[in-house]
Each structure stands twice: as C-alpha cells, then as structure tokens.
Amino acid sequence: MRLLAAPAALPGGARLGALLNRFAARPEAQSAERPSLELQEAEEARARAEAGSIEKSRFLATVSHEIRTPLNGMLGMTELLRATDLDAEQRSYVEAIRASGASLAALIDEILDFSKIEAGKLELNEAPFDLTGLVEGVAELLAPRAHEKGLDIASLVCADVPPRIVGDAARLRQVLVNLVGNAVKFTERGGVGLRVTTAGTQLKFAVIDSGPGVPEQKRRAIFDEFETSASEGSGLGLAISKRLTERMGGNLQLDSSSPEGSTFVLSLPLSSEARANAPHAFRDRVLIVANSPFEAPYLAEKLGQAGTEVLRARNADEALAIFAGGRIMEALIVDCALGEDARRLGKVARAAGIRSLVLLSAQERRSFGSLREFDGWLVKPLRSASLFARLSGDALPSLSTPAAAKADLSGREILLAEDNDINALIVIRYLEKSGARVFRVSDGKAALAQAANRRFDAIILDLRMPGVDGLEVARRIRAAELASCTTPCRLIAVSADAFEAAGEAARAAGADLFLTKPVDLQRLAEALA
C-alpha cells in the first residue's frame, strides 16, 4: 500500500500519479471510443457502397443509352423494311433481324432491372387489378410462340381465387411471362400450363411443362444470375424473377423436375383487400372431345367449377360411343386437331340438335378451312369469359387479330429534334406515311428557334442533344406558352435512357409522354394523333 501512496509525496509525483491514472483509465476510454470508431467505419463503408451503387447505375445508364441508340436505328429501319414489298426469303431474313433486335432490347431491360434490384431502387406500384385477365393474357401473349412449336398452352384460375387482387400487376406479369416463356422455350413436345390456386393466405402460381426437366446439377443454382449456357440466354431472367418475387413478399422455387417435365411455383401473399366475384354458372351437360395435355383438362375444370356436368372423350370413336349410349347433352366442344373427325362429330351433333363449338387457334383457323359443320368456335388459349359467352349463345369472337389501324396524321405539322441521323430518318419516314409534315432539327438551340417562330401541332424531343438538352428545351417551351397564354402543344420526349428517373425528369419538364428507345413507332403515332 505504501508503494502505491508514496509517489504523491515525491518531486514529480503529481505527474506520475496523473500518468498512472491515465493508464488506469485507458481500458474504459478505449471501450468508450471503440463503438464510436466502429460506427464511423460502418458509416464510411455504407457511404462507399452507396457511391459505388450510384456509379454502377450511372455506368449502366450510359452503356444502356449507347447500346439503345444504334439498336433503335436497327429496329426502326427493320420496321420500315417490313412495310415494303418483300419476297418470302427476304421477309424471313427481316423477321430474323427483328427477333434478334427484340431479344437484345429485352436483355438490356433485364440488366437494368437487375441493377435496380441490386441497388434497392426498385419500387412496387400496388393497386387493384384483374388477376384472371392478367393470367389469361400471359397465356395469350405466349400462345403464338407455343403454337409455332406445336405445343399446347393453357391457363386456369381456380374458383377459390379472387378475380381481383391488390399488387403490382406489371411486375407479376413480368415474372409470369419469364416463367411461361422459359417453359415454352425448353419444351419440344406436349405443352405448358399456368394454374393459379390458393393455399391459406397464399396465392400459388404453378407453371407446368412437359419438357426435358432441369438437370440435377443445375437445380441448386438455377436462380443465380448468369447460370446458363450461351445458347440458353443470359441467365438473368430467373434471377430477376426470384428477386422480384421476394420483393413482393413471396417465394419462387423449382417445385419438381424430371425427364417428363418441370413445375415452377410462385407463391405470393394474398391481399386482405382481394374480393371474389360471383363465379360463372352453366348447368348444362357438355361433351369435350380433345386429347391435349392442358387445354382440355383445364377446360373441363373450368366448366366443372361452373356447375357443368362434363363428359370427356379423347377421340372421335370414344365420342361416338357416348352418343350411341344415349347420353343427353346440350353442347359439344371438339378440338380441330382431330381434323376430319372433328367435322364428322360436328355433323353428328347438328343432326342431334346439339350446339357444337370447334376449338382452334388463329394459326389452325387458317389451315382448317370452312366451319360450316359447327355453330361457332372457341379460340385457344381459352378465356373464361369467352367460353361462357359462347356457350350461352352470345356473339362469336373474331379469330383474326386485325392489324392496328394506322394513325391519321394528315395535315399535322410536327417538329422533330433529334441529333442522330438514322433515328431521325426512321421517325420522319414513318410519320410522313401517316400524313404528317415533319420538320427536323439536330440540336436544342435550333428546336427553340423553330418553336418560337412557328406553331407546331406536336414536338418530339430527344432528351440528349448537343448544346441545349431536351429537358431544358421542354422547360423553355412550356414557360413561353405560359407567358403568352398559348394553348400547349403536344410534347413527346424520347430517350435511350430507360431508367425511371429519365421519365420523371421529362414529365417534370413538361413532356406529355416519355418513350424509351427503341421507340414503338405505332405508339408514337397514336400519341401524336
């Protein structure tokens, strides 16, 4: 004890005591300083991560812009070429160019989506939407591709699923299109089905195919980015779908896979705001004659859910046996894939006074010929509303999808501000064919001068131009209109920058519409009309 107390009485003891006190206090001081230091380091790491994310987003935006600019030219010139007189061989080459360009545009969108998800900047837009219409629309969208391969494709929304739910319809559609599109891509025989059910508080979307299955060594990493070979695509689609699903509070998994096919299951929480509509009701007895793996079973289930008594036959012999057995029925639905047997059954039904409908796709309609043996038709893949309307005797649908009517821009004067000569040529040629008179300038300063000296019906502005950019041009035009109390002209902004921020900036500057390159020329013309 004396050794500890002595230094205070010695010369310099005060300094030594202070030194001892400092050493004694150091552990506490260090422990007090350490959390502060760790917090500072964490903040610095977070700041570096955010800066890196911003830089990556900027880089991707720049790369996307630079790729989209020549891609816009390629796809635009392809559209102009398609509108000319081509022989069959030339048209096949043009379609191949168009398909390749569309695939490249889709890949760019996938990369940008992936970047948004990585950066945590993907926003969901939740609102009520028609689930049944969305699901049936996905099947319709991919039907031409499936039918070209000779595949069956169908969708079924079970009776316990609310037709309207609350969620992000666009993102759900994106995931379903990816899943069903992949199934169609890798399936060579049979077909693909999209089936929606409920399980407690969950919505279950099952995408079922009869493809070759996923190799066992690939199943674990199938949702990882870039996990496919070059021939199979970018490998981003499933990775993005998985992350979008998780962002929506759900789960996506490969539920089963074998050489006979695979099933992917998407699960999403069912919103408490979902409302069920009154189900369809059809109490008659219907005979279905078809041997398809998805459309026929789903059709039978839809009718069964509506209270219909359903009889099934796989071919004409089985159907004729049912007729011969004296079973009374009110309607016959027969698949046109049965060929002449389908026509024979139509004649038998007509002779028996039974309403007959033939089931066919738009492609099959062209080759099937006359439908005089039937009372009407149903279009594959079936929509529930059309099915029950046809069975009830309502007007029949058109089998051909009419080409979109060309917008009439006769007499319209349009200013185009575009610095890229090829992109300008595409827009000018397309709009001139619609009757418009187009004035082109190649920079923002010239656009402002033209707008000040002449009244245009519409102005198309590229957002990235030398000198004064499109945003500033839009702001000045709107300010001038406001100052002179002039009726605002139609302002359309276009850009190869596909980030949402570009569209928001354009609308904030006064643009009525923002279009991403490659520009949908039909949509542009409709907006101008």
User: Is residue 184 over pLDDT 90?
Assistant: yes
User: Is residue 401 over pLDDT 80?
Assistant: no
Q: What is the distance between the alpha carbons of residues 284 and 282, in angstroms, rounded to a whole number?
A: 6
What b/e sequence results for 124-151 when a residue is b if at least 16 CB atoms lie within 10 Å of its CB, and e otherwise?
eeeeebebbbbbbbbbbebbeebbeeeb
User: Is residue 395 over pLDDT 80?
Assistant: no
223, 252 contact by CB (below 8 A): yes
pLDDT computed for residue 363 by the predictor:
79
pLDDT computed for residue 270 by the predictor:
85
- What does the mean pLDDT of the chain come to? 82
The token pair that represents 373 in the structure block: 């043996």
pLDDT computed for residue 417 by the predictor:
94
CA distances from 321 to 239, 318, 462 (A): 51, 5, 68
User: Is residue 28 over pLDDT 60?
Assistant: no
Helix (H, G, I), strand (E, B) or coil at 482: helix
pLDDT computed for residue 446 by the predictor:
94
The token pair that represents 304 in the structure block: 């069964």
DSSP strand pairing (331-335 vs 413-417): unpaired
pLDDT computed for residue 75 by the predictor:
81
In this structure, of 6-20, 141-155, 462-476, 498-512, the range with the lowest mean pLDDT score is: 6-20
User: Is residue 110 over pLDDT 80?
Assistant: no
CATH topology for 13-119 is Helix Hairpins (1.10.287)
Of the pLDDT bands very low, low, confident and very high (cuts 50, 70, 90), residue 436 is: very high
User: Is residue 404 over pLDDT 50?
Assistant: no
The number of angstroms, rounded, from the C-alpha of 262 to the middle of its chain's C-alpha atoms is 22
pLDDT computed for residue 25 by the predictor:
47
The token pair that represents 481 in the structure block: 């209109």
Same fold flag, 285-391 and 413-528:
yes
Of the pLDDT bands very low, low, confident and very high (cuts 50, 70, 90), residue 76 is: confident
Among 335, 337, 338, smallest CA distance to 357 is for 335
User: Is residue 113 over pLDDT 60?
Assistant: yes
Among 64, 152, 54, smallest CA distance to 464 is for 64
Helix (H, G, I), strand (E, B) or coil at 182: helix
Q: How far apart are the first and last CA of the chain?
A: 99
User: Is residue 117 over pLDDT 80?
Assistant: no
pLDDT computed for residue 398 by the predictor:
44
Q: pLDDT tens-digit profile of 312-333?
A: 999 999 999 998 888 889 999 9
CA distances from 104 to 117, 194, 210, 244 (A): 20, 26, 28, 21
Superfamily of the domain at 285-391: Response regulator (3.40.50.2300)
Q: What percent of the chain has pLDDT over 70?
A: 82
Paired residues of 263 in beta bridges: 208, 256
User: Is residue 132 over pLDDT 60?
Assistant: yes
Q: What percent of the chain has pLDDT over 90?
A: 43
User: Is residue 109 over pLDDT 90?
Assistant: no
- Domain map of the chain by residue range? 13-119, 127-269, 285-391, 413-528
pLDDT computed for residue 326 by the predictor:
83
Other Cβ atoms closer than 10 A to 91: 14
pLDDT computed for residue 281 by the predictor:
73
User: Is residue 30 over pLDDT 60?
Assistant: no
Q: pLDDT tens-digit profile of 470-505?
A: 999 999 999 999 999 888 999 999 988 767 778 889
Superfamily of the domain at 413-528: Response regulator (3.40.50.2300)
User: Is residue 290 over pLDDT 90?
Assistant: yes
pLDDT computed for residue 51 by the predictor:
72
* CATH code, 127-269: 3.30.565.10
476, 417 contact by CB (below 8 A): no
Among 207, 209, 204, 208, smallest CA distance to 158 is for 204
In this structure, of 51-60, 64-73, 414-423, the range with the lowest mean pLDDT score is: 51-60
CA distances from 494 to 62, 76, 123, 348, 417 (A): 15, 14, 22, 59, 10
Of the pLDDT bands very low, low, confident and very high (cuts 50, 70, 90), residue 10 is: very low
Angle, nearest 10°, between helix axes 444-453 and 470-484? Answer: 20
The number of angstroms, rounded, from the C-alpha of 481 to the middle of its chain's C-alpha atoms is 38
Q: pLDDT tens-digit profile of 222-260?
A: 887 655 543 444 457 888 899 889 999 999 999 999 999
User: Is residue 5 over pLDDT 50?
Assistant: no
